[in-house]
């Protein structure tokens, strides 16, 4: 009797010990179409307690029903937050200039969030099954960007000198919105995203038959004659991957084109094009254009071609020190989907002393920069959000000079760390992923990292690192790239203390050059030396699923590893 009672007690104790594990497993293993309690499903989100407070208390609901409810509430919250921002801006006479700039950023970002949530809700409201890979990636990308937009708003408000009344009125709803959007993204990922989301590597040309910076454009004979007469180029059309062009306008400072400024040409582009009939082409002739360019969200599938790096130059000097937020300090900002830029240099000349001063801010989905140059010091290229490719580009900078939370691949590019201010170190990347379900990160593939002339020729003791974790789930991978001796043997630098060293993901694969030796690298849990199988996840074809959208740009690319 005694032994039997002992056995029973032991069994009960074992069950009690295993209960949390069994609960966790049940949360992970429940099929999306099966009924599940809010408590169980919320364990698969980053904010279980908050999740339980916002989901309907309905034990007969499944992941799809909870997901729809969460996205619907996200849409309602985004609408309320936008109204709150509008209310504050109506009282702008009582606010500082920096506060107004930060609120204007939040207004733009909140409007984008409304668009993204409306699109996402249409999908989740009409489908109760795992989506095809491309469609799932579209929605996961939008939900990831919503979190990025909210974080950018929060960062801008925190960094400005606005009154505490503004902070206190906006921080709490922003914090709640962030958790709600995170829950929506987690539920979408669990219910609608396929387990294996890799793209299918399709056969494609690694090197299309045209020279660097040249696209095989297909346009009407009239437009072709105009383009050739001004650019003095023979357009190549021997490729199977022709780039369709619907119309062309020419920007020339001497008055011989259609416009003398780039912004006037952008304003003339059609609105909300779907890209099926081709690109609206803006050809910008050689010259230095001192203007701040915005490709707005309704200027879609716009292509801008210059006369070459250091020939067509767009320049500005807005900076954080002079009262601009990092977000709106950019010389060139693009939001319109499907944007393509070729043969252009974009600069921010504020200098290292002005701290954050962005040359390009890119928040355009399915966007491409080919044979372009980005020149600044701190925060040169803000790869803000959504899906982006940079091919054969030159990027110059010092502190965090490639940063943001896009899904961005840099292929065959040159990164040039410059000479920073005294006491500063160079960080090539500062990736801003804030949520484990975001499909974002920076992938640097077959690039060259070499000290710029000012750094190489100095006697400076400046240290240069591959990156540092700006946000908690920062993710950056260097693959098959050349690193010169300017890279510190540790490779990576902390942000502050031990922040994100466990949760970030930093990886290297088959790099070359004196700076690529991994023997002395950091020993953080988040740092990895990966194999070809893992590296393949960060290629153009898999990370961006770009075989579906990149060929229409005419930009050459390599889909997989070399």
**Residue 392 has what DSSP assignment?**
S
Distance (Å, rounded) from C-alpha 306 to C-alpha 301? 17
Phi, psi dihedrals of residue 96, rounded to the nearest 5°: -75, 160
- Tell the residue number behind the tokens 């304003």, with chain if given: 267
Helix (H, G, I), strand (E, B), or coil: what is residue 411? strand
Distance (Å, rounded) from C-alpha 560 to C-alpha 543? 10
User: How crowded is residue 520: how many other Cβ atoms within 10 Å of its Cβ?
Assistant: 10
- Tell the residue number behind the tokens 């409304």, with chain if given: 114
Catalytic residue among 138, 241, 400, 547: 400
- Tell the residue number behind the tokens 């958790």, with chain if given: 179
- Please answer whether residues 84 and 169 qualify as being in contact, where contact means their C-beta atoms are separated by less than 8 angstroms: yes
Distance (Å, rounded) from C-alpha 346 to C-alpha 383? 14
Distance (Å, rounded) from C-alpha 530 to C-alpha 141? 25
First-to-last C-alpha distance (Å) of the chain? 70
Residue 379 backbone class (left: φ over 0; alpha: ψ -120 to 50; beta: rest): left
Name the maximum alpha-carbon separation found in the chain.
Answer: 103
Helix (H, G, I), strand (E, B), or coil: what is residue 395? strand
Buried b (16+ CB within 10 A) or exposed e, 479-514: bbbbbbebbbeebbbbbeeebbbebbbbbbbbbeee
Q: Which residues, in sequence order, are CB contacts of 5 under 8 Å at separation 6+? A: none
Catalytic (active site) residue 400:
yes
Distance (Å, rounded) from C-alpha 82 to C-alpha 79? 5
Tokens of 403: 């940063």
User: How crowded is residue 60: how many other Cβ atoms within 10 Å of its Cβ?
Assistant: 8
Alpha-helical runs (H) found in 238-318:
262-268
Residue 266 backbone class (left: φ over 0; alpha: ψ -120 to 50; beta: rest): alpha
Provide long-range contacts, Cβ within 8 A and 24+ apart, for 193-198. 193/130, 193/131, 193/136, 193/140, 194/130, 194/131, 194/132, 194/133, 194/136, 197/133, 197/136, 197/137, 198/133, 198/536, 198/537, 198/542
Distance (Å, rounded) from C-alpha 197 to C-alpha 190? 12
Chain-centre distance for alpha carbon 192: 22
- Please answer whether residues 215 and 243 qualify as being in contact, where contact means their C-beta atoms are separated by less than 8 angstroms: yes
Residues labelled as active-site residues = 400
């Amino acid at each position: 009797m005694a032994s039997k009672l002992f056995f029973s007690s032991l069994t009960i104790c074992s069950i009690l010990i295993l209960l949390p594990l069994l609960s966790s497993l049940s949360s992970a293993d429940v099929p999306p179409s099966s009924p599940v309690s809010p408590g169980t499903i919320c364990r698969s989100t980053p904010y279980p307690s908050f999740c339980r407070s916002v989901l309907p208390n309905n034990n007969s609901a499944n992941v799809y029903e909870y997901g729809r409810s969460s996205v619907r509430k996200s849409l309602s919250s985004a609408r309320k937050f936008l109204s709150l921002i509008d209310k504050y801006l109506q009282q702008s006479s009582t606010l500082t200039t920096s506060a107004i700039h930060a609120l204007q950023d939040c207004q733009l970002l909140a409007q984008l969030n409304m668009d993204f949530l409306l699109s996402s809700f249409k999908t989740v409201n009409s489908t109760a099954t795992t989506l095809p890979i491309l469609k799932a990636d579209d929605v996961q990308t939008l939900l990831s960007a919503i979190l990025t937009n909210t974080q950018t708003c929060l960062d801008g408000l925190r960094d400005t000198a606005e009154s505490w009344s503004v902070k206190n009125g906006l921080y709490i709803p922003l914090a709640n919105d962030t958790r709600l959007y995170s829950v929506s993204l987690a539920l979408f990922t669990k219910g609608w995203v396929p387990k294996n989301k890799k793209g299918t590597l399709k056969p494609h040309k690694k090197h299309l038959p045209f020279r660097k910076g040249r696209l095989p454009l297909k346009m009407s004979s009239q437009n072709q004659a105009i383009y050739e007469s001004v650019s003095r180029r023979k357009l190549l059309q021997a490729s199977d991957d022709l780039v369709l062009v619907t119309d062309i306008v020419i920007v020339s400072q001497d008055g011989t084109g259609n416009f003398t400024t780039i912004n006037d040409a952008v304003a003339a582009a059609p609105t909300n094009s779907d890209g099926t009939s081709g690109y609206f082409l803006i050809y910008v002739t050689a010259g230095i254009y001192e203007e701040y360019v915005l490709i707005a969200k309704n200027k879609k599938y716009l292509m801008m071609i210059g006369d070459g790096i250091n020939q067509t130059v767009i320049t500005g000097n807005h900076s954080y020190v002079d009262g601009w937020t990092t977000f709106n300090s950019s010389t060139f900002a693009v939001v319109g989907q499907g944007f393509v830029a070729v043969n252009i240099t974009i600069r921010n000349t504020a200098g290292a002393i002005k701290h954050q001063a962005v040359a390009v801010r890119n928040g355009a989905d399915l966007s491409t920069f080919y044979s372009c140059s980005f020149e600044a010091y701190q925060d040169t290229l803000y790869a803000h959000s959504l899906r982006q490719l940079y091919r054969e580009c030159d990027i110059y900078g010092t502190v965090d000079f490639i940063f943001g939370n896009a899904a961005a691949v840099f292929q065959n590019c040159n990164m040039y760390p410059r000479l920073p201010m005294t006491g500063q170190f160079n960080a090539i990347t500062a990736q801003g992923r804030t949520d484990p379900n975001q499909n974002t990160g920076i992938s640097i593939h077959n690039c060259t990292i070499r000290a710029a002339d000012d750094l190489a020729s100095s006697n400076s003791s400046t240290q240069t690192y591959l990156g540092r974790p700006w946000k908690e789930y920062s993710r950056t991978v260097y693959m098959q790239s050349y690193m010169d001796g300017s890279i510190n043997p540790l490779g990576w630098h902390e942000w502050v203390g031990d922040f994100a060293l466990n949760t970030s993901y930093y990886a290297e694969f088959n790099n070359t050059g004196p700076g690529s030796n991994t023997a002395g690298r950091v020993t953080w849990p988040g740092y990895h030396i990966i194999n070809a199988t893992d590296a393949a996840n960060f290629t153009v074809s898999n990370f961006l699923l770009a075989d579906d959208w990149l060929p229409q740009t005419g930009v050459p690319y390599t889909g997989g590893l070399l």
